[in-house]
């Protein structure tokens, strides 16, 4: 029997559609889940859930080149070979690596005739296990200008799964990243359920189409939530027909509610603050729960 | 001169500001190049409804192994830092989606069994609307690597025109690629806890890259004054404030610009350009 926990990943093609507020609300409603923040670029979930961390670990990913100035003979071979334009000439006739451009490919390290280039592991941030009022949480802080958020996303998901097994939880709720690139791919591959939060705007539809074709690419059938659906009813209708065409199901519609910001300022989830849109999220949760 | 519009999180109004600024700048200074580097979700073209001139396919170089020369020595797969070429029962197999196109495997292969071939990662679309050239990158669905495509879009900056970059959201590799060569950055945010949290990260990035920057606050009045206080404490200029106006949200939802429809906001966009022009000239 398959007893791996159900994993609901909340994503949105477009940023700023309310993904984090909705994920937090679902976690609150479930009452018994592990919650994880995989939007590591804009990790905002902690602002609502106020986690108290019980464990922290450094996150290393890949390597970075560093030129030892004493050994460098200034031949410039490394600069010629680096395809990421990460090596610059210094004014002392030697060369150095620009860390934010280095992709850690190792080419310069391998071909420096003086063996002058070190290749240490790269510290990219840290990740935490925490306790919150809605349950355990796994989250991270990606270093500024760090790479590989896809790897960090994969790590957070696997730690959340381990924690679910340990604590005997049947559900993981994940606040996923926006877009369709590497972090999103890392967050939805192998997930049991994907919920796409969109908004009734032309940009929203455009991005939704892209995210749905990404889901198709990975053979995932996502659910759709239209946030602020009453901001533009024509667009909301269009979303429903786009969803139908692409084999996705609209599972919730949330009204435009200015008080969501107030809830955010009070560090509460939408469903904890008694505001109009809370009911729409509760209705959606009832449907999601049994699906 | 290149101006980048960025934000720590998505949905703050980056595209709204970039497109409206491009329109004002075109009226004031003539030719403007708007580069949409938000290649995962490029949306500027929804607002700048130009005529499509052409499109170009963007490829990266990936390895291809000539099996008749390969000695199955494994040097390529040992070298690759991204597991993009792996020895399966001795034979090297390339995983296209993982390849960063570093060229390393080709260089380490002694018998010269590897040559490089094109692998498509996306498209660049060229549009024209009056004095605005809009160039947008569109990442292929399923292709994980946006920085090379962003790099390709940036190469198309106009030499003598003002360039405006609509950057991707966040603070990691794609953003760095988009803004690292800009002369000035506008960081767009909202007056909310999320907005402030993500702004602080975006400010750290801009400082780390040694950039001149200012903040634009969107939906002023929807939250509280925490972003204003932060900017004051940190001595960061606020270059633009857009009030929380449902009409703006509705225009946006229909793909319409502020400039064409709400003339009362025109002045604030004009001022942004004047202020930035002064800063750049004085080299502050
Ligand atoms: S290849 Fe080595 S010796 Fe030559 S410039 Fe680079 S670091 Fe210096
Ligand atoms: S490791 Fe690769 S990307 Fe980094 S500096 Fe060396 S050649 Fe360039
Ligand atoms: S080009 Fe670089 S990343 Fe691509 S397979 Fe070769 S070594 Fe790996
Ligand atoms: S390095 Fe060259 S010869 Fe060796 S396994 Fe790779 S392709 Fe074959």
| pLDDT (tens digit per residue) in A236-248 | 999 999 999 888 9
Residues of chain B with pLDDT > 90, as a percent, come to 77
Chain A residues inside the 8 Å CB shell of B198: 42, 44
Instruction: Note the pLDDT tens digit of each residue in B177-212.
Output: 899 899 999 999 999 999 999 999 999 999 989 999
**Atom 4 in ligand 3: residue holding the nearest Cα:** B99
Closest residue in chain B to residue A198, using alpha carbons only: B11
Measured in whole angstroms, how far is the alpha carbon of residue A134 from the centre of its chain?
Answer: 20
Closest CA to B151 of A14, A100, A84, A62: A84
A119 lines ligand 2 (CB under 6 A): no
What's the token pair of residue A45?
């979930």
Q: Tell which A residues from 227 to 286 touch B, by Cβ distance under 8 Å.
A: 231-232, 235, 258, 261, 264-265, 267
The mean predicted confidence, pLDDT, of chain A is 92
Q: B-chain residues within 8 Å CB-CB of A232?
A: 250, 253-254
Quote the distance between the C-alpha of residue A64 and its chain's center: 23
Helix ranges (DSSP H) in A62-131: 77-81, 107-111
How do residues A166-210 score in pLDDT, each as one tens digit?
999 999 999 998 888 888 999 999 899 999 999 999 988 988 998
What pLDDT is stored for residue A101 in this prediction?
Answer: 85
Q: Which residues of B touch A63 (CB under 8 A)?
A: 81
Mean pLDDT of B218-225: 93
Ligand 1 atom nearest to A111, measured from its CA: 1
Residue B284, pLDDT score: 39
Structure tokens at A187: 């967050």
pLDDT for A285 = 96
> Range with the lowest mean pLDDT among A89-93, B58-62, B134-138?
A89-93
Judged by CB atoms closer than 8 Å, whether chains meet at B10 and A210 is answered as no
Residue B125, pLDDT above cutoff 70:
yes
Q: What is the chain B residue with the closest CA to A267? A: B193
Contact criterion met (CB below 8 Å) for B24 and B266: yes
Mutation site, B6, B41, B199, interface A, largest A CB count within 10 A: B41
A200 touches chain B (CB under 8 A): yes
Q: Does A209 touch chain B (CB under 8 A)?
A: no
pLDDT for B278 equals 67
Distances (CA, A) of A201 to A104, A110, A261, B186: 40, 50, 20, 24
Q: How confident is the model at residue B282 (pLDDT cuts 50, 70, 90)?
A: low
pLDDT tier for residue A148 given thresholds of 50, 70 and 90: low
Question: pLDDT per residue over A245-277, tens digit each?
Answer: 888 999 999 999 989 999 999 999 999 998 999
A49 φ, ψ to 5°?
-100, -10
Question: What number is the average pLDDT over the span B113-133?
Answer: 96
B chain contacts of residue A199, beta-carbon cutoff 8 Å = 253
Whose CA is closest to atom 8 on ligand 4? Answer: B70
* pLDDT classification of B143: cutoffs 50, 70, 90: confident
Q: Do B104 and A16 touch (CB under 8 A)?
A: no
Nearest CA distance, A202 vs chain B (angstrom): 6
Strand-strand pairing, A171-178 and A193-198: unpaired
**pLDDT higher than 50, residue B283:** no
The stretch B39-53 carries a mean pLDDT of 93
> What pLDDT band is residue A216 in, cutting at 50, 70 and 90?
confident
Confidence grade of residue A1 (pLDDT, cut at 50, 70, 90): very low
Question: Edge-to-edge strands of the sheet including A171-178?
Answer: A52-63, A121-132, A135-142, A34-37, A171-178, A6-12, A193-198, A223-227, A249-254
Per the CB < 8 A criterion, the answer to whether A16 and B9 are in contact is yes
Q: Does A219 touch chain B (CB under 8 A)?
A: no
Task: Give me B83's structure tokens.
Answer: 């597991």
pLDDT band at B228 (very low <50, low <70, confident <90, very high): very high
Nearest residue in chain B measured CA to CA from A262: B223
A65 C-alpha to center of ligand 1: Å? 12
**Residues forming a β-bridge with B51:** B128
DSSP assignments along B213-255, one per residue = EEEEEEEETSS-SHHHHHHHHTT--EEEEEE--HHHHHHHHTT
Nearest to B253 among A42, A181, A235 (CB): A235
> Is B41–A206 a contact, with Cβ atoms under 8 angstroms apart?
yes
Model pTM score: 0.88
Task: Extract the tokens encoding A49.
Answer: 């859930």
- In a mutational test of the B interface, the residue from A203, A207, A214 whose CB has the highest number of chain B CBs within 10 Å is A203
Closest ligand, as measured to the CA of A77? 1
Name which of B10, B107, B170 is nearest A107 (Cβ-Cβ): B107
What is the spatial distance between Cα B46 and Cα B213, in angstroms, rounded to a whole number? 27
C-alpha–C-alpha distance, residues B261 and A91, integer Å: 53
**Distance (Å) from CA B170 to ligand 2 centroid:** 23
In chain A, which residues have their Cβ closer than 8 Å to the Cβ of B172? 40-41, 142, 145-147, 149
Any ligand 3 atom below 6 A from CB of B70 = no
């Amino acid at each position: 029997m398959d007893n791996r926990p159900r994993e609901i990943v909340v994503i949105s093609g477009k940023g700023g559609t309310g993904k984090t507020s909705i994920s937090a609300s679902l976690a609150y409603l479930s009452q018994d889940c592990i919650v994880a923040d995989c939007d590591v670029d804009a990790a905002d979930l902690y602002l609502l859930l106020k986690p108290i961390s019980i464990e922290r670990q450094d996150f290393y990913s890949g390597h970075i080149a560093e030129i030892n100035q004493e050994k460098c003979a200034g031949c410039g071979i490394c600069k010629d070979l680096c395809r990421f334009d990460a090596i610059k000439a210094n004014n002392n006739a030697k060369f150095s690596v620009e860390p934010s451009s280095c992709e850690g490919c190792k080419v310069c390290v391998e071909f420096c005739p003086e063996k002058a280039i070190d290749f240490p592991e790269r510290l990219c941030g840290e990740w935490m296990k925490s306790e919150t009022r809605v349950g355990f949480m796994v989250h991270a802080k990606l270093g500024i200008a760090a790479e590989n958020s896809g790897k960090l996303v994969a790590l957070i998901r696997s730690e959340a799964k381990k924690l679910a097994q340990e604590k005997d939880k049947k559900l993981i709720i994940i606040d996923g990243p926006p877009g369709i690139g590497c972090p999103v791919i890392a967050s939805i591959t192998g997930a049991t359920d994907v919920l796409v939060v969109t908004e009734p705007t032309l940009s929203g539809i455009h991005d939704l189409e892209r995210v749905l074709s990404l889901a198709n690419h990975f053979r995932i059938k996502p659910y759709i939530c239209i946030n602020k659906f009453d901001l533009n009813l024509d667009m909301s209708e269009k979303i429903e027909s786009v969803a139908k065409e692409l084999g996705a199901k609209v599972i919730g519609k949330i009204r435009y509610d200015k008080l969501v910001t107030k809830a955010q300022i009070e560090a509460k989830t939408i469903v904890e603050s008694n505001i109009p849109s809370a009911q729409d999220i509760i209705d959606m949760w009832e449907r999601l729960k049994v699906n | 001169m290149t101006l980048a519009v960025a934000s720590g999180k998505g949905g703050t109004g980056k595209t709204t500001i970039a497109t409206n600024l491009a329109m004002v700048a075109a009226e004031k200074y003539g030719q403007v190049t708007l580069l949409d580097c938000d290649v995962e979700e490029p949306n500027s073209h929804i607002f700048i409804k130009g005529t499509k001139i052409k499109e170009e396919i963007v490829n990266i170089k990936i390895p291809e192994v000539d099996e008749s020369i390969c000695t199955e020595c494994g040097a390529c797969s040992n070298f690759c830092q991204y597991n993009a070429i792996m020895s399966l029962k001795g034979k090297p197999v390339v995983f296209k989606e993982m390849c960063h196109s570093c060229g390393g495997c080709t260089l380490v292969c002694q018998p010269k069994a590897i040559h490089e071939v094109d692998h498509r990662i996306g498209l660049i679309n060229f549009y024209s609307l009056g004095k605005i050239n809009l160039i947008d990158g569109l990442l292929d669905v399923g292709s994980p690597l946006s920085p090379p495509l962003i790099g390709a879009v940036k190469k198309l900056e106009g030499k003598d025109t003002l360039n405006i970059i609509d950057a991707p959201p966040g603070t990691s590799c794609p953003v760095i690629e988009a803004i690292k060569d800009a002369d000035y950055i506008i960081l767009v945010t909202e007056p909310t806890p999320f907005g402030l949290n993500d702004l602080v990260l975006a400010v750290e990035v801009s400082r780390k890259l040694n950039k001149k920057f200012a903040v634009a606050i969107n939906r002023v009045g929807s939250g509280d004054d925490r972003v204003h206080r932060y900017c004051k404490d940190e001595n960061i200029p606020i270059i633009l404030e857009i009030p929380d106006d449902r009409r703006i949200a509705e225009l946006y939802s229909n793909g319409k610009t502020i400039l064409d429809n709400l003339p009362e906001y025109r002045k604030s966009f004009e001022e942004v350009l004047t202020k930035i022009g002064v800063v750049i000239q004085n080299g502050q």
